[in-house]
Amino acid sequence: MQSKRFRTGRVYAALGLLFAALSLAPSLHAASGMGDAANGKIRSQAEQCQECHGEAGLGTAEHYPKLAGQWAGYIRKQLGDFQSGARKSEIMNAMASDLSPRDIADIAAYFSSAPRWSGEEDNFSAAGRALYLNGDPSRALPACASCHGEKGAGADTGAGPIPALAGQRESYLINQLNAFKADDRANSPGAVMNEIAHRLSISEIAALAHYVSGPRAME
């Protein structure tokens, strides 16, 4: 449930931020956030989120995911899943446990309205690109692009938001695909990512992560 206070007191602040965001950067997803981004900035600092995910949501180490410009609906879903235990991570289950619904909405609005990350240097893999764009019909492996988009931008589809992937950190992507493959992460709708990752070999996961993390995945 989004807070009712948003609808009354915070509409003007949100509109102001929306305009500021739209005029600053082309790839922002601020429009999808339903929280108060200014308060989210304060709360994400107070809750120490920024220590690992960075002040601007760019992540401070290889295994900390970038959040800047990620869809707000996806961030909210993940924080809810960490709270309920549907997604397991020792760190994040603890970090999310005390967040109120309002904190979740505001923090998601803040990170999603931060300028979107760029790709990791010159990472590229031709094999990863082919698999990402075409999948492999011979083993019923769908193209990643069919859901995550050709440029890896994802989509805020409401109930089952699809994360932006392109330019995300390579080791984080490898960790997540391995976790889906091993069923250690099992929070995707209808277990769709588990079904897909079961069919990927370790070297395909490496090739996909190398391609997806690079700037050319966004072109």
- Name the site residues for ligand HEC (rule: CB under 6 A): 44, 47-49, 51-53, 63-65, 67, 75, 77-79, 89, 91-92, 95, 99, 107, 142, 144, 146-148, 160, 162-163, 165, 173, 175-177, 187-189, 192-193, 196, 208
To ligand HEC, the closest distance from the beta carbon of 187 in angstroms equals 5
The residue among 32 and 78 lying less far from ligand HEC, judged by its C-beta, is 78
Least distance CB 1 / ligand HEC (angstroms): 18
Closest approach, Cβ 99 to ligand HEC, in A, equals 6
User: Do 86 and 185 contact (CB within 8 A), yes or no?
Assistant: no
Q: Which is nearer to ligand HEC, 31 or 184 (CB)?
A: 184
Q: Which is nearer to ligand HEC, 19 or 181 (CB)?
A: 181
DSSP notation for 146-183: HHH-TTS--B--SSS-B---TT--HHHHHHHHHHHHTT
Give the chain's radius of gyration (CA, Å).
17
Q: Would you tell me how many other CB atoms lie within 10 Å of the CB of residue 94?
A: 10
- For ligand HEC, which is the closer residue by CB, 6 or 110? 110
Amino acid at 217: A
